[in-house]
Amino acid sequence: MSDVPKTHPRYLSLTLRDKIVEGVEQGITSIHGLIAHGRGEAFDYLIGEVTQPFAIEAIHAAAAMLRLSNHPVISVNGNVAALAPEALIELGQVLNAPLEVNIFHTETGREKKIREHLLKHGAPDVLMPTTEAQLSYIDSNRKFVHPEGIFRADVVFVPLEDGDRCEALRKMGKDVVTVDLNPMSRTAKQASITIVDNVVRALPLLCEEIRKLSAADMEMPTRKDYDNEAVLKSALQHISRSGNGN
């Protein structure tokens, strides 16, 4: 890790860069992940680098959707594995849902390294892609899934996605919850629920919200109460108004 002082005004952002670079060095994150991270950083800068109300609204809806699902699955790629392994594992625990490795860029051994990384951080188990079960409507490496994981899921949590698989999952009748800093991405538009926030901020809030719902035995919001398009519009309006210099 680099020696950025904690007093640096961009300390948190620079710490995340360190994590992504470390992920690449460890063979967990694809080299393309650096570009994706840079794009995310730019949007985070415009958003103000804090969780905004439109993200909170999506987190509430996502918590209810995931909590009510019969077979939720958490999909893990090379970026999110490097940025937030503990929070992913916590989400798996609060939902009693499996983590499944699913990556876009095929690189020898990376899937295995992501699995080992998650196990090292305390994941009880991690599902791997197989050739036994394949998603329809998609040609990339992301079509290979686990029969007891994404293939069978009714709701898939897919942070930092590349678009194609989100579309395929939706066509297969599954709900998709995503976290994407870009409210204009294809994933953001096609997901059932899009949390426009940095995954490192959104994940702990999502876990907390699911815990609250589990404890309270309260009436959960229904799909009718949530409008993803309107939430994305709020995010875009916020970005277009933002003139904050960080």
Query: Which one-letter amino acid corresponds to residue 201?
Result: R
Q: Establish if 77 lies at the interface with ligand PTJ (CB under 6 A).
A: yes
Out of 19, 105, 152, 211, point to the residue binding ligand PTJ (CB under 6 A).
105
Q: How many CA atoms lie within 13 A of 157 on its CB side?
A: 32
Q: Are 47 and 196 in contact (CB under 8 A)?
A: yes
Which region, judged by CB under 6 A, interacts with ligand PTJ, from 28-36, 55-63, 125-133, 144-152? 28-36
Q: Does 164 bind ligand PTJ (CB under 6 A)?
A: no
Q: Which of 90, 167, 175, 180 binds ligand PTJ (CB under 6 A)?
A: 180
103 binds ligand PTJ (CB under 6 A): yes
Q: Considering the rule CB under 6 A, would residue 33 count as an interface residue with ligand PTJ? A: yes
Per CB under 6 A, does 194 bind ligand PTJ? no
Distance, CA of 191 to CA of 43 (rounded, Å): 18
List Cβ neighbours of 233 (8 Å cut-off, separation of 6 or more): none
Placement of tokens 């690189």 in the chain: 107
Shortest Å distance, C-beta 98 to ligand PTJ? 18
Regarding 78 and contact with ligand PTJ (CB under 6 A), the answer is: yes
Yes or no: say if 34 and 21 are a contact pair by the CB < 8 Å rule: yes
- Spell out the long-range contacts of 30-33 with Cβ–Cβ below 8 A and sequence spacing 24 or more: 30/78, 30/103, 30/104, 30/105, 30/107, 30/110, 32/105, 33/77, 33/78, 33/79, 33/82
For residue 184, give the nearest of 200, 196, 170 by alpha carbon: 196
For ligand PTJ, which residue of 51, 75, 185, 234 counts as binding (CB under 6 A)?
185
Which one of the spans 32-40, 54-62, 168-176, 209-217 is the region binding ligand PTJ (CB under 6 A)?
32-40
Residue 235 within binding range of ligand PTJ, rule CB under 6 A: no
Chain residues binding ligand PTJ by CB under 6 A are 30, 32-33, 36-37, 39-40, 43, 77-79, 83, 103-105, 160-162, 179-182, 185, 198-199
